[in-house]
Amino acid sequence: MAFDNLTQKLEEVFKSLKGKGKISEDDLKQALRQVRLALIEADVNLGVVKDFINRIKEKAIGEEVYGSLNPVQTVIKIVKDELTELLGGVQSGITISSKPPTVIMLVGLQGAGKTTTAGKLAVYLRKKGKHPMLVAADVYRPAAIKQLQVVGKQIDIPVFANETPGANPVDIARDAIAASTSMLKDVVIIDTAGRLAIDETLMTELVNIKQSVRPHEILLVVDAMIGQDAVQTAQTFNERLGIDGVVMTKLDGDAKGGAALSIKSVTGRPIKFMGTSEKMDGLEEFRPEGMASRILDLGDLGALIDRTKELVNEEEAKELAIKMQRNEFTLDDFLKQMNQVRKMGKFQDLIGLIPGMGKIKDQLKDIDLDSKEIRRIEAIIQSMTSKEKANPKILNGSRRKRIAMGSGTRVQDVNRLIKQFEEAQKMMKKMGSMRKGKKGMLPKL
């Protein structure tokens, strides 16, 4: 996942502060210098970094960090709030027209992930009860039309195309919208042509499509891996065409993440979605607060609840979240959660959503969690008595030995699981106490 390096660096900064009872002005200065370096290393725009650090300094004085009882938590909270702002502040959704069809135009450079995103967006909207269709408006590369058709077939979404040589993208878009009613489709997603670099012909064509079909939403698809170039691309597209928002793709890779942290400040346009895999379900709504939490390894309960909702019933998901908030969740819930996670997708991606678990993500890299590790965890938890599950504190050496024997694992495995569980619990407790601060740390239920 992008940001991993930044997460690690920030963690080191906070760790160095944690050793101190009180934070002096010098301590904070030193810490902020490190935060600044971490952000620059993550390829965040320099002007953005400067403003960010200044705002934190001001806030730290305002919130009386130096004298406070728990200065590190106050600093983390300030950093989290400011990161949230950088990422766009509040979440921005897409406009759905009250008068169908809603027209969404996807634009972007070649290779950014436009065609893939078109398919993902259709799947996302279908889950929301919409009836989308796709439109192939890239007439220059026959392969592009074919690619969209393949995507459409894979997800069972109709693709409107005109393969006649000389067909004009503006006409295609118009014809598709006209056809949407008889096709009983209420969302039209237009996949436009891309280029390797921004050029006049492309911009003119996109402006023509825009003027002709007046889309409700123009989304720019950018590749997080190209770093500051993505910010530059967004700026140019916004100036020339006007965009409503950004879809940032490939955040599952090892992009440094700086583009995501700079784009809103530089262009004024929010990231609305992020691409988290090559697969058709790899599109997530972009939630600034959740992402800031993830970067600080505070987990992202909002996203976790969202994914959970897709598979378990809503009541169960809420109950679990409330337990997490109240710090009441037991090893049984932990196991339930692991099993849900297994159903929900790649463990690696999801583990970071659980508070405190981001840290162990790397340790888990080589483990085939789907089969081996979860089964082991399951066996260990099932070998415990209900008393032990509710209160792992009573697990002394002999109990651990018994559990290891009963589950066919080693005492080290039992110890590791208990440690993971305690880590998650500790982080939740922390978040619970942060909630008592001015702004809630946890999503509203």
**Measured from the CB of residue 211, what is the shortest distance to ligand GDP in angstroms?**
23
Any known ligand binding at 192? Answer: yes
Any known ligand binding at 67? Answer: no
Quick check: bond before 165 cis, omega within 30?
Answer: no
Q: Which is nearer to ligand GDP, 38 or 222 (CB)?
A: 222
**Measured from the CB of residue 240, what is the shortest distance to ligand GDP in angstroms?**
18
Any known ligand binding at 28? Answer: no
Any known ligand binding at 236? Answer: no
Q: Which is nearer to ligand GDP, 111 or 432 (CB)?
A: 111
Any known ligand binding at 251? Answer: yes
Half-sphere exposure of 252 (CA within 13 A, CB side): 16
- CB 82 within 8 Å of CB 109: no
Any known ligand binding at 250? Answer: yes
Q: Which is nearer to ligand GDP, 84 or 276 (CB)?
A: 276
- CB 138 within 8 Å of CB 195: no
Q: Which is nearer to ligand GDP, 222 or 428 (CB)?
A: 222
**Residue 127 neighbours by CB distance under 10 Å:** 10
**Measured from the CB of residue 53, what is the shortest distance to ligand GDP in angstroms?**
30
**Measured from the CB of residue 112, what is the shortest distance to ligand GDP in angstroms?**
4
Q: Which residues contact 217 (CB under 8 A, 6 or more apart)?
A: 94, 95, 102, 103, 104, 105, 244, 245
**Measured from the CB of residue 225, what is the shortest distance to ligand GDP in angstroms?**
9
- CB 271 within 8 Å of CB 297: no
Any known ligand binding at 113? Answer: yes
Any known ligand binding at 146? Answer: no
**Measured from the CB of residue 235, what is the shortest distance to ligand GDP in angstroms?**
18
Distance CA 236, CA 224 (A): 16
Any known ligand binding at 84? Answer: no
Any known ligand binding at 21? Answer: no
**Measured from the CB of residue 215, what is the shortest distance to ligand GDP in angstroms?**
17
Nearest position to ligand GDP, beta carbon: 275
Burial class from Cβ neighbours inside 10 Å (0-12, 13-18, 19+) for residue 103 reads: buried
Helix axes 46-62, 71-86, angle to 10 degrees: 140
Q: Which H or E element spans position 274?
A: strand 271-275
Q: Which is nearer to ligand GDP, 10 or 219 (CB)?
A: 219
Q: Which H or E element spans position 352?
A: none
**Measured from the CB of residue 269, what is the shortest distance to ligand GDP in angstroms?**
18
To 10 degrees, the CA torsion angle through 260, 262, 264, 270?
-10
Any known ligand binding at 297? Answer: no
Q: Which residues contact 325 (CB under 8 A, 6 or more apart)?
A: 428, 431, 432, 435, 442
Any known ligand binding at 345? Answer: no
Q: Which is nearer to ligand GDP, 88 or 282 (CB)?
A: 282
Nearest to 422 by CA among 347, 378, 365, 356: 356
**Residue 63 neighbours by CB distance under 10 Å:** 16
**List of residues contacting ligand GDP (CB under 6 A):** 108, 110-116, 194, 249-250, 252-253, 275-278, 282
Burial class from Cβ neighbours inside 10 Å (0-12, 13-18, 19+) for residue 211 reads: exposed
Place of tokens 């793709």: 249
Q: Which is nearer to ligand GDP, 134 or 395 (CB)?
A: 134
Q: Which is nearer to ligand GDP, 277 or 308 (CB)?
A: 277
**Measured from the CB of residue 277, what is the shortest distance to ligand GDP in angstroms?**
5
Our measurement of the distance from residue 230's CA atom to the centroid of its chain's CA atoms, rounded to an integer in Å, reads 17
Q: Which is nearer to ligand GDP, 255 or 403 (CB)?
A: 255
Binding site for GTP, residues? 108-115, 191-195, 249-252
Binding site, residues? 108-115, 191-195, 249-252
